[in-house]
Chains A and B, each alone.
Chain A
Amino acid sequence: DAGVIQSPRHEVTEMGQEVTLRCKPISGHNSLFWYRQTMMRGLELLIYFNNNVPIDDSGMPEDRFSAKMPNASFSTLKIQPSEPRDSAVYFCASSEQGEAFFGQGTRLTVV
């Protein structure tokens, strides 16, 4: 398996634009997580899904953030409208009742 695949690796966008981050989990994994990493706040869990169902979205910072998992092999994290304070590295991870496997991350810069 190629591991957890995230796209794009880097995204630069202007404030107010919509941003969509994509994730393909490892085949067979039934849990998927979105994390945000910044210098100030470290690694924050935004939302996680189990069997494609959102279980806990208490970490989603605002209504501007939304996440979907339409099927077992794909998830998106959308920010609309984006703001400079959303600049961070966003990681997707998947697991099957064991350790979490992380993607390479998407570095988002909102200018």
Chain B
Amino acid sequence: GDSVTQMEGPVTLSEEAFLTINCTYTATGYPSLFWYVQYPGEGLQLLLKATKADDKGSNKGFEATYRKETTSFHLEKGSVQVSDSAVYFCALSPSTSGTYKYIFGTGTRLKVLA
């Protein structure tokens, strides 16, 4: 079945460091891919998305590129800030017609130190 695998956390970085959080997926067809962020005590918020191969999603300095050849959607940011500390979830929505469920990875906790 469809699934998402993301790197184990926690990830601890110093402010202004480069961030990569790996995400790979297993799915039939061409799913849509998402990154969500969850700040403490809050629900998940969409960070960025990509709906087809080679699309790049970007928001708030974060980027991720839909790589069908490697079935990956790695999240990157060039310079993290303390305010980026949160849990990041990679997710996919299958492309099967009529199926709109979202499948989430286990989440990666990011802690940025000043």
Q: Which residues of A contact B (CB under 8 A)?
A: 4, 31, 33, 42-43, 45, 48, 50, 55-56, 91, 93, 95, 97, 99-105
Contacts and interface: CB of A to CB of B under 8 A. Distances in A.
B45 interface: yes
Interface in B81-114: 89, 91, 93, 98, 100-104, 106-107
Interface in B62-98: 89, 91, 93, 98
Contacts of B44: 43, 91, 93, 100, 102
Given A43-B89, A48-B100, A104 B42 contact: yes
B90 to A, nearest CB: 11
A93 B101 CA distance: 11
Given A42-B106, A43-B89, A99-B49, A31 B42 contact: no
Given A33-B101, A45-B101, 11 more contacts: A31-B100, A45-B102, A45-B104, A56-B101, A91-B44, A95-B100, A97-B100, A100-B91, A101-B46, A102-B43, A104-B42
B34 interface: yes
A99 B98 CA distance: 15
Residues of A contacting B: mostly: strand
A104 B101 contact: no
Contacts of A95: 100, 102
Contact of A104 (B43, B91, B98, B107): B43
B42 A43 contact: no
A77 B42 CA distance: 19
Nearest to A101: B46
Contacts of B104: 42-43, 45
10 contacts: A31-B100, A33-B102, A43-B104, A43-B106, A45-B102, A48-B100, A91-B43, A95-B100, A100-B91, A105-B43
